[in-house]
Chain A
Amino acid sequence: MKSMRSVAFGMACVAGALTTTSVFAATTLESVKEKGHLQCGVTSGLPGFSQPDEKGAWTGIDVDTCRAVAAAIFGDAKAVEFTPLTAKERFTALQSGEIDMLSRNTTWTLTRDVSLGLNFAGVNYYDGQGFLVNKDIGVDDATQLDGATVCIQAGTTTELNLSDYFRTKGMEFKPIVFDTSEQTVQGFAAGRCDVLTSDRSQLAALRSKLTDPSSAKILPNTISKEPLGPVVRQGDDQWFNIVKWVLSVQINAEELGITMANADEMLKSDNPSVQRLLGTDGDMGAKLGLPDDFGHAIVKQVGNYAEMYDRNVGPDTALGLERGINALWTDGGILYAPPVR
C-alpha cells in the first residue's frame, strides 16, 4: 500500500499544480519587475527586424523596440530575453502570458485588434506588400502576373492580401505556402514559383539570399498596407501605455534631435519639450509607473527612432531601405508621435 500512497500523493501534487490560479492578479509591469527582465516575442529570423547571429545575440528594429521598453523599465536595455516565435504561435504566446509583449513584425488589423484579446501599441514600421519576380519571366508590373505561381509564407496577412489582389484584378494564381521564410526563399530559388510575395521591407533581404541576386527584381506595386507594431494583452492599460509611449518617446526624440551621443548633454537643455522627455522636468515617468528618467534611458541606450531605423534597416544595411513614409512628418513621412507633456 505504501507505493499506492505515493501515487496518490503524486496525483495530489499534480492537482495542486493545476489549480494554483494566480489569486494575486499582478499587473504586467509588476510581474516584469519581479522577474527582473522583459520577455519579448520576436521572429525566429527576419533580417532587419529580429535575427539571431550564430551566438544567439539578437538584432533588428523589433528587437530594439523590446530593448527600449526594457530600458524604460529597468534603465537597462539588456534586461530582456527573447522568445523566437513562429507566425502561428505568436498570439497564443502573448495571450497565455508566456511573453510580456510581442514585437514580431505583426500587422495591425481590425480582426486581430478585436477578436484576439490584444492591443496594438503603435506602429514601428509602415510596410506594404510587394512582389519579387525572376527577371526571366519578363514582367514589369504586377498586373501581368495572371496565372503565375506564387511563393508565400504561412500564417500571415500576406496570403489574404494576395488572394484579394488577384481576385479584384480578375487574375488567377497558384499559391505555394511555406512555413518559414527560409523555405520560401529556397522554393523561389529552386524555381518552384515565378513570384515571391512578402512585405516590401523583406523582399530586398530575401533577394540578397539568392545565388544571383541580380536575376530577380522587385516590382513597383504595393498591394496592401502593413502597419507593423508591438502588441500587448488587452486589459492592462498601464502596460499598454508604457509600450505605446516608449515608441512615442523614440519618435519625439528624433524630432527634438536627441541622439544616443548627445543624450547626456541634452539633459542640460532648456527646451521644455526636451526636459520633459528626458525627465529633468515634470513627472512623466511616474504617471506611467516608470522612473522619471525613462526617456533618457531609452535614447541613451537604444537611440531615437532614426538611429534604430538606420542601424537595422537603413540604406547602409543589407536591407538598404530609404526612410520613405517612415520619415518624420516634418520630412514628408507619416511618423507623427503625440507630444510628451
Chain B
Amino acid sequence: MKKQTVNSRPAGPKPWYDPRVRALFFQVISLAVVFWVGWVLIDNTLSNMQSRGISTGFGFLGESAGFGIIMHLVPFDATMSYGRTFWVGLTNTLLVSAMGVVAATILGFVIGVARLSSNWLVAKISLVYIEVIRNIPLLLQIFFWYFAVLSNLPSPRQSVEVGGALFLNNRGLYLPGPVTQEGFGLVWVAILVAIVAVVGVRMWAKKRQMATGQIFPTFKVSVAILILLPLMVFFSAGQPLEWDVPALKGFNFGGGITLIPELVALWIALSLYTASFIAEIVRSGILSVSQGQTEASKALGLPNGLTLRLVVIPQAMRVIIPPLTSQYLNLVKNSSLATAIGYPDLVAVFMGTTLNQTGQAVEVVAITMAVYLTISLLISLFMNLYNRAVAIKER
C-alpha cells in the first residue's frame, strides 16, 4: 500500500480503492481488534479473580514478608515488607548482571583477539572454547558450576586458606572487607581530584599535541596520578582503613565480604557463556576493518600497539557495539536463571517466594516484566547514545 500523491488524476479512485482510505480502514480495524482482545483478556482475568476469590491490588507490597533472604544489598530482615523483597531481588539481579557484563566483556575481547592470534595453538584453543561453550545450554552450565563444582569444595572447617585472609569452602568465597575509619572521606576527595586532574591533563596534552606535534605520555602520567594521589592522602591521613578479616564463628565464617556459591556459580557461567558470543562479535568486528587500514597506518610508521588502539579498534567498535548491546541484554535476561540454583535474584525472590506467599500472580508477574522491560530500554538507550557518539566521531 504505497502512498501516492495524485493531484492530476481526472477522477479520484473510488473510496475503497483509495490506498489512504484503505490504510486508515485497516488501522482502525486492527486497533479495534487489539483493544477488544485486550479488553476481553482483562475482563476475563478480573471476573476470574473475582469469582475465584483471589485478592487483587498492590496492597500486599506493604505487608510483612516473614521469610528470610540469604543475600541482600539493601538492609532486609523477615519483618520487612514484600515491597522490600522486590528491592532485594532487583539489586541482586543488577549486581550479578553488572559483574557478568564486566567479566564477559574482558574475557570476550581477550578470546576474540586470541582467535585471530598468529599463534596457531592459541587461535585453535580459542576456537574450541567458543564452539564448545556456546553450543551447550546455559542452564546446564549453571548446574555444572553449582552442583558439580560445589560438591568438590571442602567444608568450612577444612577451608582452602590463602594468607589467613581469603577463604574458600562450599559456603562461598570469603574476602576481607574494608572498613573505613574516620578521615577516609579525604581519600574519596583525593580520588575525585585525581580523576579531574587526569581529564585536565588529557585535554591539555591533546591541545599541545595538536599545536606542537609533541606527544605527551598521557597514559603513564594518568595512571600515576590516579594511584599516587589517593595513596599519598591515604598515608598522610594515618591509614584510616581497617580490614575485617573473615573468621570461623559457629557453623560458618563471619565478617568480611562473602561471595555466596550461588552468586559465584551464576557469575562464572554467565560470563563464560556470554564471552563465547562476544568473542565472535569481536573477531568479526576486527576482521571488518580492511587490511588496507592496517597497512596504511604501518606505512605512516605507527607501531603495532598504536595501530590497534588508534586505527583498528575505533573502526571495529562501530561494528561491535550493536551486537554487543544485545549480548548485554541477553546476559541480564539470562541472569534470571538464578532461580534454578537458589541465587536470590528478582525472579527467585519476588516472582518466586513473594508470588507464592501472596498468590497475587498477575501483579507480581506484571511488576517483574516491567522491570526487565525498563532495564532493556535503558541499556538500549545508553548503547544507542554511545553508538551515536562513536559514529559521529568517525565522520
Q: Which residues does A use to contact B, with CB under 8 Å? A: 11, 14-15, 18-19, 87-88, 91-92, 95-96, 112, 115-118, 136-137, 146-149, 154-156, 159-160, 162-164, 166-167, 173-179, 183, 186-187, 189-192, 194, 233-235
Chain A residues, Cβ within 8 Å of B250: 146-148
Is the pair B68, A175 in contact by a Cβ cutoff of 8 Å?
yes
Interface of chain B residues 46 through 94 with chain A (CB within 8 A): 48, 51-55, 66-70, 78-79
A149 contacts which of B33, B252, B254 (Cβ < 8 Å)?
Answer: B252
Min distance, Cβ B237 to any Cβ of chain A, angstroms: 35
Tell me the complex Cα distance, A190–B70, Å: 18
A164 contacts which of B66, B171, B355, B361 (Cβ < 8 Å)?
Answer: B66
Chain B residues, Cβ within 8 Å of A194: 251-252
Given A117-B53, A163-B67, A189-B151, decide whether A179 and B339 contact each other with a Cβ distance below 8 A.
Answer: yes
A15 contacts which of B36, B48, B252 (Cβ < 8 Å)?
Answer: B36
Top 5 closest A-B pairs, CB basis?
A117-B53, A117-B52, A190-B151, A155-B356, A147-B250
Is the pair A88, B70 in contact by a Cβ cutoff of 8 Å?
no
A137 contacts which of B37, B251, B340, B348 (Cβ < 8 Å)?
Answer: B251
Q: Which residues does B use to contact A, with CB under 8 Å? A: 33, 36-37, 40-41, 44, 48, 51-55, 66-70, 78-79, 147, 150-151, 153, 155, 170-171, 249-252, 254, 261-262, 339-342, 344, 348, 352-353, 355-357, 359, 361
Tell me the complex Cα distance, A183–B343, Å: 13
Given A115-B54, A194-B251, decide whether A149 and B171 contact each other with a Cβ distance below 8 A.
Answer: yes
Is the pair A191, B51 in contact by a Cβ cutoff of 8 Å?
no
Tell me the complex Cα distance, A326–B36, Å: 54
Is the pair A95, B52 in contact by a Cβ cutoff of 8 Å?
yes
Chain A residues, Cβ within 8 Å of B66: 160, 163-164
Chain B residues, Cβ within 8 Å of A173: 68
Is the pair A235, B68 in contact by a Cβ cutoff of 8 Å?
no
Given A159-B67, A190-B147, decide whether A176 and B359 contact each other with a Cβ distance below 8 A.
Answer: no
Chain B residues, Cβ within 8 Å of A179: 339-340, 342, 352
Min distance, Cβ A195 to any Cβ of chain B, angstroms: 9
Tell me the complex Cα distance, A154–B254, Å: 26
Is the pair B353, A155 in contact by a Cβ cutoff of 8 Å?
yes
Chain B residues, Cβ within 8 Å of A116: 52-54, 359
A154 contacts which of B147, B153, B352 (Cβ < 8 Å)?
Answer: B352
Min distance, Cβ B1 to any Cβ of chain A, angstroms: 11
Q: What 7 new A-B contacts, CB under 8 Å, besides A117-B52, A183-B341, A191-B153?
A: A88-B352, A96-B48, A116-B359, A148-B252, A177-B348, A189-B151, A192-B150
Is the pair A192, B261 in contact by a Cβ cutoff of 8 Å?
yes
Tell me the complex Cα distance, A178–B147, Å: 12
Tell me the complex Cα distance, A136–B251, Å: 11
Is the pair B40, A19 in contact by a Cβ cutoff of 8 Å?
yes
